[in-house]
Structure 1
Amino acid sequence: MCLLNIVEENDATGVVKATYDEIKGMFGAVPAGLKMWSLLPDGLQHHWEGIKTSFVKDMETQKFETVLRYLVSEAKECEYCLGFNAGMLINNFGMTQDELITMVKDPSTAPLDEKHTSLLLFALKVANEPTAINSADIDKLRALNISDKAIFELSYMTSYLVMSDALLTAFKVQD
């Protein structure tokens, strides 16, 4: 379900059809959360490229990004994304429901190494309280040999998650 008239698989043409075909090749079907992007074919293509690149990263980075998506979705109350990312954390990374609950209450308990925990806490600050970011936050990441480019990329990715969650929630997207 979606409040907007999205392009269904049978009606897809051009860039949307080509992207849907790629998505079906990986997932077997096109999730509603991706169909929403069909209204902006270039946006669909860009969004899909980002998803594909996340699947080729090392497992620790994949786990970090999934934890981040889950916690941003929790904070932004995106039910669609919560279920998807909870499933990934449980099925792909062996987390339990109790660990998810604990992590929501205290993100520093996420099962990540020191570097990824620092990145997570910074990203959540970007998502939930961006006006509170200060030079000490940046210096802490730099002390972990994280470049300004990587800090900005993380902030961009986090902001993109917030925007995606807002759209999915606003338009009542469900599979």
Structure 2
Amino acid sequence: MFRITPETPDDSYEVEMLYDLAFAPGRTALSSYRLRDGVAPVAGLSCVARDEYDALVGAIRYWPVRVGEAGVPALLLGPVAVHPTRQGEGLGALLIGYSLDRATETGWERVLLVGDYPYYRRFGFEKVEVEFPPPTNPDRVLGRELAPGALAGLRGRVRRWTEA
């Protein structure tokens, strides 16, 4: 049994430790982290999962980004991590599904991520033609509509939320 709640500032240390465990400390060198620099995760969508002992066993974060010259708003999903001792229990899928539902409820129209298509397609993600900072593999750039037609014609460079 897991309890999913919005991430709070008190969770931050544990979340960072989980991400380091799941992805190694060098994770912040990935190009997608350039889109997160100086931008706070989206409150209410970034969530943690705790088990029956109140141990943090999963986390997911979302970041606001802009796409193309028009600066179309989108969410950047990631990272999502599950503690190695709890993997294979469906917790990652639970976090993704729960948070995507909340994103839809709060009015976001589209979500982007860099990840494995075979894993994320079950959540409705498809390959999209937007440009992430190099050296991102374009075959790993995926998107999902939260509102009908929200990805239609979406093109251009993905940039930090705070960039004009």
TM-score of the two chains, using structure 1 as the length reference:
0.28
Instruction: Identify the structure with the greater helix proportion.
Output: 1
TM-score of the two chains, using structure 2 as the length reference:
0.30
Largest Rg, 1 or 2: 1
